[in-house]
Structures are given as C-alpha cells and as structure tokens.
C-alpha cells in the first residue's frame, strides 16, 4: 500500500490508529509535538472528577479569542470558569517530556482528561495515554480592585493584556475570518461570570497589576527579574477615546515599560511603517507582532479583508522586514493562524500546496530575521469561517510538515531561541497554543527535562505561583 493510501485508511479508522500512524511515520518529529498538535486540532474534554481537580488551577482567561470548539452558553458545568489556561502532558507509554497545551474545549473530542487512581490522566478513545498536571495559579490571581475587578482579568497569566477587547474591523467585510474577538467578549459578558466587562482597560489598572506581578517576583527571588508582557487588542480604525491606534496602544506600552524594572514589552498591532516603528521603539516596545495570519497573498486578501484594504500584503511584508532593522533580529514575531490555509471554501485543496506556500513564507521571513509564530487554528464556532462554512479538522499531516519546514529554516538561518521570561515557570518553555517554540526547545535545548523540572531557563529562576 502507498503511504497516501495507508493514510486514507487510517483517516477513517479510530483516532488512536490515526495518531499512531503519524507517530510511526514521522519519527524525526518529537512525539510531544505530534500529540500536542492533535490535542489542539480536535480539542479535549474534562470528566467531572478532572474538573474538580482543575478548579484550583490557573483558570482559563478567555483573554482574546475563546480558543474553544464550542460556545460558552453550551458549557453546562461552567467549564469556562473551572478549566485551566493550559495543562501539561508528560510520561505514559510514549515517554513524553513535559509540554503545555492550551485548553481547547470540545465535548466531541476523543481526548478526555480524567482522574485514575487519584492521578490526572489523558485518555484517548478511553485508553490511558499519559500524565496530566495543571498549572498553579500565580499569587496575584487572588487580588481584586475595590470595584471588584480581578487582577487576572486585566493581565492574564502574568503576561497577556488585551487592553481593547473589541475590534473596529467589524462584520464580514472587515473582520479577520478566523477571529471571534467580538463574539468572545459578548459571550463573556452574557455569562455574568467575569468581573471586567467594558471594552477598554484603564491604563492605571494595567500598570498596577504589572507592579503587583513584579513585586511578587521580587519577594520570591530578592531582586527584580526580567519579565515579559504582551499588549494586544483590536484594530482602531480612526480613534478610540479620541486617540489614534498608535497613541492608544503606546500609552500602555510606556506605562508597562517604564513602570518597573527589566521589562520586555511585546505588542500586537497592524503592521507599521519604519518611522512609526521607530516611535514604538522609543516609547518602550521591544518586540512587535504584526499578525499577518496567512502568508499566501490570495488567502491574505480573503482571510483578512480589513487588513488587506487598510494596509495590503505588499506593505505588510515590507514593513515587517523593516521592523527588524528597528527592533533587531528575533523581535519581529508576526502570528500566523496555522491551518487556515486549508479553510473552506477558498483555501488550498491539498496539503502539499498549503505546506509549500506557508513553508516558503517561513523561509523568506526567517531569511530576513523575522521570527514568525504559528498559533494553531482552533475553529471557534463564533468566527465567520466556522459559522458560514463547514470546517472539518485540519489533517495532522499538514501541521507536522509545516513545523518540519519551520524547524529547518530556523536552523538554516541560525535564529535565536525565543524570548520567554515569564513569571510562570511552565511558560518559560513555550506557549500552549502551538508547537513552534516546543520544536526548538525539545530538539535543541540541552537538559530540557531537568531544567523544566527546576522551573528555570535563563532570566527568572524562581517560581511565583501560590501554593
């Protein structure tokens, strides 16, 4: 049987056979990466017992998008307030090293997290696969402002601040088609389970939460360690609170950068020209994420109608390259929604063409010192793509092949390891939402597992989680 015919036959068999086929046929890929890709691809579910254990963990933030394959209104056990931001997978018969996986709820998934003999386990098709552990909450998760707003709803997991929680790219002619930001903020408000429900976060709140995160770290290690923060939010087309997009976002960047010590500021906005980027740098931005979402020009125009009309593919790419000249290699980190290349109805209709297009894009960007990120597409039901068209799960084969190209280009152009000075020890090793950083750490970081256990990787050495 040819490989393609063999793959066709496992695609229609059980999820266990499907996973095992990929593990067998891609032995050059870390097994942790393949399993994590599958968990993000089809989501996972929690039994009552696992939910009980997870209730004390670092709670899922719904910080920007929902990252779920279901709506909040269908969460009958209030899963949105009882599941963790991520969980770590490890051990089992595959001998997995630890990696974190962003919680992606789907009641239909063959992956279930359960409690077996008092221990948390990941099951696939009902069979035990590996150990699972939940992240401890950070100390500041217990704090609130006088008006009742919880600190962690201002900055999630010590890092992520969505300061404008809507987007002025509105409706099918403007909004990026995979994005559920506006739907997510609406479902959060309707649930009445969140304490902060207005679109704009006050600068003073963001500054105070950052101060508190930093102070916890100082109390723990006795000095101010380096800490990363990320500022995100929707597009501002004209003005918001009488400020332009740049004036609005840079106020937060300056407040975070200069409000403490040794801070590294990431910011996500539309692509900016070189002169604007110099201003961003001067006002405290260390790393810019001009999230392009998809590389192929035709798909960029379809997937990102607002971005295409306002800036366009050519400017976007040119400005990303120029931003490296201002910020330095490794500090231009545009996001791509990995998998939308194959979205229906206008995406590629085959895996080789999709891998070639995005893989060539990765190589081009890395050649210019851009360090792209590949957040795996979660097929959120409130997004335009999923609400308008049936969107089956993207084949695992695609994710494996694109990450292989990513790793090859990273080696070829000798880019640095990614920056991860997180106050949460588990996030120093990458992000739960994808495998692009895991690939590099698992393959090339010496003593990965021992260092993971010590919670160390350069920068901050101590854990500031609450016991």
Positions touching ligand SF4 (CB under 6 A) are 167, 169, 175-176, 179, 181, 234-235
Q: CB neighbours (10 Å) of residue 275?
A: 9
Q: Which one, 39 or 337, has the nearer CB to ligand SF4? A: 337
- Select 21 or 300, whichever has its Cβ closest to ligand SF4: 300
The answer to whether 324 and 317 are in contact (CB under 8 A) is no
Q: How far is the CB of 324 from ligand SF4 (least distance, A)?
A: 22
Cβ distance to ligand SF4 smaller for residue 299 or 464: 299
Q: Dig out the tokens for 292 from the structure.
A: 């392009």
Q: How far is the CB of 268 from ligand SF4 (least distance, A)?
A: 8
Q: Which is nearer to ligand SF4, 124 or 287 (CB)?
A: 287
In the bound complex, what is the minimum distance in angstroms from residue 13's beta carbon to ligand SF4?
A: 36
CB of 412 to ligand SF4, least distance (A): 30
**What are the residue ranges of helices labelled H in 259-395?**
274-282, 297-303, 305-310, 313-327, 351-367, 384-388
Contacts of 50 (CB under 8 A, 6+ apart): 112, 113, 114, 115, 120, 132
Q: CA quadruple 203, 208, 213, 215: dihedral positive or negative?
A: positive
Closest contact distance (angstroms) between CB of 327 and ligand SF4 is 20
Distance CA 8, CA 13 (A): 9
- Is residue 250 classed exposed, middle or buried when 0-12, 13-18 and 19+ CB atoms within 10 A define those classes? buried
Rg (CA), the chain: 21
The CB-of-289 to ligand SF4 minimum distance in angstroms stands at 11
Comparison of 391 and 401: residue with beta carbon closer to ligand SF4: 391
Shortest separation between residue 64's beta carbon and ligand SF4, angstroms:
8
CB of 240 to ligand SF4, least distance (A): 13
Residues 54, 83: Cα–Cα separation, whole Å: 6
If you write DSSP's letter for every residue of 55-119 in order, what string do you get? TTS-B----SS---SS-GGG-TT-GGGTSBSEEEEEETTTTEEEEEEE--B-TT-SEEEEEETTE
Distance CA 64, CA 288 (A): 17
Cα distance between residue 50 and residue 43, in whole Å? 16
Neighbours of 4 (CB within 10 A): 9
Closest CB to ligand SF4 among residues 295, 441 = 295
Nearest to 31 by CA among 110, 119, 105, 91: 91
Output 179 or 362, the one with its CB closest to ligand SF4: 179
Instruction: Give whichever of 103 and 235 is closer to ligand SF4, judged by the CB atom.
Output: 235
Minimum distance, C-beta of residue 291 to ligand SF4, in the bound complex (Å): 6
DSSP, residue by residue, 252-287: HHHHHHHTSSSEEEEEEES---HHHHHHHHHTT--E
Nearer to ligand SF4, 247 or 353 (CB): 247
If the CB atoms of residues 169 and 348 are measured against ligand SF4, the closer one turns out to be: 169
Minimum CB–partner distance for residue 425 and ligand SF4 (Å) = 29
- Beta pairing partners, 132: 89
Q: Which is nearer to ligand SF4, 309 or 344 (CB)?
A: 309
Strands 86-91 and 96-102, by their bridges, are antiparallel
Distance CA 397, CA 400 (A): 5
Q: In angstroms, give the least distance from the CB of 174 to ligand SF4.
A: 7
Q: 48: buried, middle or exposed (CB in 10 Å: 19+, 13-18, 0-12)?
A: exposed
């Amino acid at each position: 049987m040819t490989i393609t015919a063999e793959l066709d036959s496992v695609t229609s068999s059980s999820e266990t056979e499907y996973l095992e086929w990929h593990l067998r046929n891609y032995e050059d890929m870390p097994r942790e990466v393949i399993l994590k890709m599958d968990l993000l691809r089809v989501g996972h579910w929690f039994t009552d017992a696992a939910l009980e254990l997870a209730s004390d963990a670092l709670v899922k933030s719904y910080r920007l998008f929902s990252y779920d394959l279901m709506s909040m209104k269908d969460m009958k056990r209030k899963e949105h307030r009882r599941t963790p931001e991520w969980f770590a997978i490890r051990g089992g018969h595959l001998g997995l090293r630890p990696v974190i996986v962003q919680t992606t709820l789907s009641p239909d998934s063959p992956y279930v997290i359960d409690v077996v003999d008092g221990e948390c386990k990941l099951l696939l098709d009902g069979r035990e696969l590996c150990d699972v552990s939940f992240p401890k909450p950070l100390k500041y998760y217990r704090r609130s402002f006088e008006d009742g707003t919880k600190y962690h709803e201002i900055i999630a997991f010590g890092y992520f601040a969505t300061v404008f929680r809507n987007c002025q790219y509105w409706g099918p002619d403007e909004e990026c088609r995979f994005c559920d930001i506006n739907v997510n903020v609406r479902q959060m408000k309707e649930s009445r389970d969140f304490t902060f429900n207005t679109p704009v976060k006050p600068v003073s709140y963001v500054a105070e939460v950052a101060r508190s995160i930093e102070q916890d770290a100082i109390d723990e290690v006795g000095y101010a360690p380096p800490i990363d923060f990320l500022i995100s939010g929707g597009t501002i087309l004209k003005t918001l609170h009488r400020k332009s997009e740049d004036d609005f976002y840079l106020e937060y960047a300056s407040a975070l950068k200069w409000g403490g010590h040794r801070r590294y500021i990431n910011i996500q906005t539309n692509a900016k020209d070189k002169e604007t980027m110099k201003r961003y740098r001067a006002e405290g931005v260390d790393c810019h994420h001009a999230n392009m979402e998809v590389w192929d020009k035709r798909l960029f125009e379809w997937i990102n109608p607002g971005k295409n009309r306002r800036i366009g593919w050519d400017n976007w790419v040119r400005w990303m390259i120029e931003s490296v000249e201002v910020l330095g290699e490794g500090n231009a980190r545009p996001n791509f929604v990995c998998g939308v290349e194959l979205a229906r109805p206008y995406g590629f209709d085959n895996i080789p063409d999709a891998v070639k297009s995005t893989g060539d894009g990765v190589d081009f960007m890395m050649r210019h010192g851009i360090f792209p990120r590949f957040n795996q597409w979660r097929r959120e039901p409130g997004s335009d793509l999923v609400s308008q068209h049936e969107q089956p799960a993207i084949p695992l084969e695609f994710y494996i092949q694109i990450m292989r190209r990513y790793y090859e280009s990273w080696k070829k152009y000798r880019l640095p390891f990614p920056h991860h000075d997180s106050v949460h020890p588990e996030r120093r090793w990458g992000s739960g939402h994808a495998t692009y950083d895991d690939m590099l750490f698992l393959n090339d970081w010496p003593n990965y597992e021992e260092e993971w256990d010590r919670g160390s990787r350069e920068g901050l050495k101590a854990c500031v989680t609450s016991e």
